[in-house]
Amino acid sequence: MKLLKVDSVEETKRKMDHYFEGISLDVEWIDIAQALGRIAAENLYAQREVPEFPRSTVDGYAVMAKDTYGASESLPTFLQLEGNVEMGEAAAQKIVPGKGVYVPTGGMLPNGADAMVMIEYVESLDGDTIAVYKAVAPGEGIMQQGEDIQKGEPVVAKGKKLKPQDIGMLAAAGIFSIKVFKKPRVFVISTGDELVHPKEETKLGQVRDINTYTLSAMALACNAEVVGQVIVRDDFQLLQNTVKHAIEKSDVVVVSGGSSVGKKDVTAKVIDSLGEPGVFIHGVAVKPGKPTIIGRVGDTAVFGLPGHPVSAMIIYKVFVEYILRRLQQLEEAQEVVIYGICDANIHSSPGKETYQMVQLEERDHQWIVKPIYGKSGAISLMTKAHGYIKIRENQEGIHKGEGVEVILL
């Protein structure tokens, strides 16, 4: 078998958008207590105002701001104390000129008050009088009703991955059950006559399986559910049966190994044998990972990744994570990027998008970017790397001293 027409990374993603159009995940309702890391399946709107009453943001005294004008340490303003507001209770007092009420942080603001004086600037002279040593402006130290969130205001957009602060906001806004996308189901298959389980003793020529664990962990990190892991020998019938089973119970099937053009590389044939449209990508202009396979069988995306761990991980990040985000209708992924200065020349492969692993070192208040090299089968290359540089297919490498963007792993 020969590689099909080699596509660029962008062309490959355009084809993925076309071939995977119409594939989507089911949704489910969950309590917000279980919503961390899940993806909102609809826009969410506040069901109540936050805060639901005007409240103090400091520990101190509620006053009419104009009563404090001109107050200073040498010339305080004296106000009559009208009691306290208790936490969790409505403020019964009403502020009028010349009066003040003690209110703890978060307590309800009494009617008539338009500012808070922090307790540090107030002295209690007796049970009925306080001295104010600092002027305050209207609105200082308080939060009005609905100032944080208005009822009906959008609080979470469809496609947002929920963070702890989002869940807190939902609770505050009166939303306790939400609709989220079900987690995409991923099935991981590693192929090769040489592969054995990591717990097994190896014979000369055998290799402990790495990719099953690495790729499964990457799936979990992308909010997916791993529904199967298996090692399969280089046998067409065995692999065909395994992939068929995987397709029946998953949204995405990842096969590592067997994607090249050797006589035992049968992944593409297996995918084509299982249904339409089959393989639509076999070969991508990328280094490492050129012999990448992407296909669709029914409503399942099937990927054939190189067997070498580094190549498999790179292709997974570039393409498998792309479809996982697409399935979950995730907001556009924001890569975490650090800018630095390259401390060596880096060569690229003409006509290929190149991914170069690098380490970062802080020196003289700037980041120095140091390329690290290793064979594509060396898993330690990825563990040593802090990130990678993406060199475009039409870019002639990177020169020492050139500024670069490092995408953190």
Instruction: Classify 360 as helix, strand or coil.
Output: strand
Phi–psi pair at 138, nearest 5 degrees: -55, 135
Q: Read off the pLDDT band of 59 (50, 70, 90).
A: very high
Q: Read off the pLDDT band of 376 (50, 70, 90).
A: low
What percent of the chain stands above pLDDT 90? 78
**What does the alpha-carbon distance between residue 68 and residue 135 come to, in Å, rounded to a whole number?**
5
Maximum average pLDDT range among 93-107, 322-336, 386-400:
93-107
Q: Within 13 Å of residue 263, how many CA atoms lie on the same side as its CB?
A: 0
Q: Read off the pLDDT band of 377 (50, 70, 90).
A: low
Q: Read off the pLDDT band of 2 (50, 70, 90).
A: very low
Structure confidence at residue 204 (pLDDT): 86
Q: Read off the pLDDT band of 103 (50, 70, 90).
A: very high
Domains of the chain (ranges, CATH numbers):
9-26+183-327 (3.40.980.10), 27-50+148-181 (3.90.105.10), 55-143 (2.170.190.11), 337-408 (2.40.340.10)
Structure confidence at residue 170 (pLDDT): 97
Structure confidence at residue 3 (pLDDT): 47
Which residues make beta-bridge pairs with 389? 356
Q: Which of 268, 271, 306, 264 is nearest to 286 (CA)?
A: 306
Structure tokens that stand for 321 in this block = 């994570």
Q: Read off the pLDDT band of 1 (50, 70, 90).
A: very low
CB 286 within 8 A of CB 9: yes
196 pLDDT above the threshold of 90: no
Structure confidence at residue 403 (pLDDT): 95
Structure confidence at residue 405 (pLDDT): 94
What percent of the chain stands above pLDDT 70? 96
CB 387 within 8 A of CB 406: yes
Q: Which of 143-147, 173-177, 372-376 has the lowest mean pLDDT?
A: 372-376
Q: What is the mean pLDDT of residues 350-357?
A: 89
Tell me: the pLDDT tens digits for 261-316?
Answer: 555 578 999 999 999 999 999 999 998 888 899 999 999 999 999 988 888 999 99
Q: Read off the pLDDT band of 113 (50, 70, 90).
A: very high
> Which H or E run contains 62?
strand 60-63
Output the pTM of the full model: 0.82
Count of helix runs (H) and strand runs (E) in the chain: 8, 26
CB 85 within 8 A of CB 110: yes
Residue matched to tokens 């995306």: 301
Q: What is the mean pLDDT of residues 157-184?
A: 96
